[in-house]
Chain A
């Protein structure tokens, strides 16, 4: 009977339930109570013993009352008090009640009254069996009570764990996850908590409740030891017990993912075995969640790397295609001119020379695009903003684009009340050039390209529209991607896939926006630039 304590009972109950409830029993299970739990238990104990005594006293009063009516066998009344004490307060108070009941029964109800001596031998036997029955009954009912209590506690813990796992499942960034875990540890264990994660080389504090971000060297050493050996270290542990905190590993099947540091102002061990089990359950969940987030970050990194790789190969494909094609034409034409000179009539010669020129110009445009893109990507672009006249820029852009626009009509409508805009004239000319070049590339010869600029409140809107097939649905955003080309049936005038990406980069660098749409009035693409109207317009000083 000596080893039947509430604690061991609970432990047994837990062991019995282990299979079903997945309660974890890890680490040493010391039966010794921690001082702080002893402290709180003693107050509770006092109440329990006093309550038990009260119950026995009540039984005694009822017994005295019954005796007045001639009923002298009151053993069952006392038994009831002992049972009540067992159900209400547990084993020890009920044993105390048992003792008190035996003494009171003997003193008040077994003749001679008001002495502890017992005259009749049959009463000695009766008292003995009363005591046996009371002891067995109190043991049985306190066991029932202990089971009920531990079931209730388990239910509460399970509920908390379930809520915790739900919370972790909804968290996608490592920081949120760690803060949630630290909070949960701190709340359920009533301790201060820090969580450390391995960086490239060292461990660093990533979360804490209450917030904490510095650890002293002893703590770092203990945490590092824990990370390397995957077993506890620090306060109250076998290794490095001198450090302020107790460090415990958070493990998954793949190894230690993080370290939890616990501390408290209370002296003595930080975790009771129950709390240790609870900690293990919490830390297993947190570890799995950390691993999940780490894995998803790995996947994201892999995806990014693949994306970069895709862009690089698109660049290589584009460069090798866009550089080789014109070079092939140039080289072919030049060698033909040289070797077949005598066999070629004037028209054929002129055609070959024309090809050389056109292809060289195309090559030049491509390289210019590559350079612009490089300037944008390297961050070397610093727009020289200045007050400019949009019509002036449109005019010079059209002059530069005159050879690519040779087979198209261009209609320009720039409203006369347009204010001066703050733009980099060179960059904006390039934007308009690219848009005109693009429009010419994707529309049939003879069609009209329109360039229109109007003021809308504090914005100027510049539209470039064409009469081509328009932009396939779903591509209106993608056409601004690098190396994206609309899949044209006629691929012979395919561009570099850079022009619009450059337009967007330049326009945004000058504080404007650019987007694409399809025309409403007819079939065709519409590129829309909006530019802010500067707050002040230049005024000529008296010169």
Chain B
């Protein structure tokens, strides 16, 4: 891997040395280069001195908090993917970070597999934005983005325009969580009641999922938003 593609550089921002150590070990073994920062100011320095491909950011930093870093980065026009580390009961913190421009989150404690999957999705999304593929495929679902044809197990499925808009938004960010607010803004152009979104998600699942009671494609992140399964 190192021979061909340039190493992707991950900035790890966390005040806990054991967390940084295990992230460093886990990420290096997967071929990532790591840069570490223990607080806001040192993260700022690291970002200035290094070309960073992705940021793994703990929200609960001492001093300058994680939200501040996200805000600064996005205000400066940076599009570097940001993966947030947050605590379990803090749904509002997750939503706030995502609405500020973070790309995704992982809830502490987390497994390395989960973190790597999120990291890949965030990086892939960046590539995807640069050149969208005409056919989107995941599991049994195939969507022809040019002709707007949706099929499940090779059978065409009729979607209403709004259902298609929701699916299209989810596909554009496949593998990444989308907050309710972001989805509604994209689809309705305004922030409507989350309840309508939930109704549409239910009908979409009934049309697309093999077992709507146990969705495998459109996954709910309770209290945060939805995530479409990423293509392999």
A interface vs B, CB < 8 Å? Answer: 357, 360, 364, 368, 371-372, 375, 384, 386-389, 391-396, 398-399, 412, 414, 420, 424-426, 429, 538, 540-541, 543
Contacts and interface: CB of A to CB of B under 8 A. Distances in A.
A391 B198 CA distance: 11
B111 A538 contact: no
B202 A426 contact: no
Nearest to A392: B220
11 contacts: A386-B194, A389-B199, A389-B201, A393-B222, A395-B214, A395-B215, A395-B220, A396-B219, A399-B214, A425-B220, A538-B199
Contact of B223 (A360, A387, A389, A425): A425
A425 B199 contact: no
Interface stretch (B11-19, B167-175, B185-193): B185-193
A543 B199 contact: no
Contacts of B222: 393, 396, 425-426, 429
Q: Which 8 A-B pairs have the closest CB atoms?
A: A387-B195, A538-B195, A426-B223, A396-B220, A412-B213, A429-B222, A540-B196, A425-B222
B27 to A, nearest CB: 19
Contact of B198 (A384, A392, A414, A424): A392
B181 to A, nearest CB: 13
Interface string B174-212: 000000000000001110111110110110000000001
A501 B85 CA distance: 29
A541 B195 CA distance: 11
B128 to A, nearest CB: 25
B53 interface: no
A389 B189 CA distance: 23
Contacts of B201: 389, 392
Given A426-B223, A543-B188, A364 B202 contact: no
Given A364-B109, A375-B89, A392 B202 contact: yes
Contacts of A393: 220, 222
Interface of B: 88-89, 91, 109, 111, 188-190, 192-196, 198-199, 201-202, 212-215, 219-223
Contact of A360 (B88, B109, B198): B109
Given A386-B195, A420-B195, A420-B199, A395 B213 contact: yes
A396 B198 CA distance: 13
Given A360-B109, A371-B89, A543 B190 contact: yes
Nearest to A387: B195
Contacts of B212: 391
A425 B222 CA distance: 6
A368 B88 contact: yes
A387 B109 CA distance: 29
B109 A543 contact: no
Most buried by A among B194, B196, B214: B214
Contacts of A412: 213-214
Contacts of B88: 368, 371
B199 A541 contact: no
B193 to A, nearest CB: 6
Contact of A543 (B89, B192, B219): B192
Nearest to B200: A540
A393 to B, nearest CB: 7
A394 B213 contact: yes
Contacts of A543: 188-190, 192
A108 B220 CA distance: 124
Contacts of B219: 396, 399
Contacts of B202: 389, 391-392
Contacts of B193: 387, 538
A138 to B, nearest CB: 96
Nearest to A380: B89
Nearest to B108: A364
Contacts of A384: 223
A395 B222 CA distance: 10
A540 B223 CA distance: 21
A357 B113 CA distance: 12
Contacts of A360: 109
A541 B190 CA distance: 12
A331 B202 CA distance: 45
Nearest to A391: B213
Most A Cβ at <10 Å: residue of B111, B199, B220? B220
Contacts of B195: 386-388, 420, 538
B38 to A, nearest CB: 24
Given A368-B88, A395-B213, A412-B213, A420 B198 contact: yes
Contacts of A396: 219-222
A386 B222 CA distance: 12
Given A387-B194, A396-B221, A420-B199, 13 more contacts: A368-B88, A371-B88, A372-B89, A387-B195, A388-B195, A389-B198, A392-B198, A396-B219, A396-B222, A420-B195, A425-B223, A543-B188, A543-B190
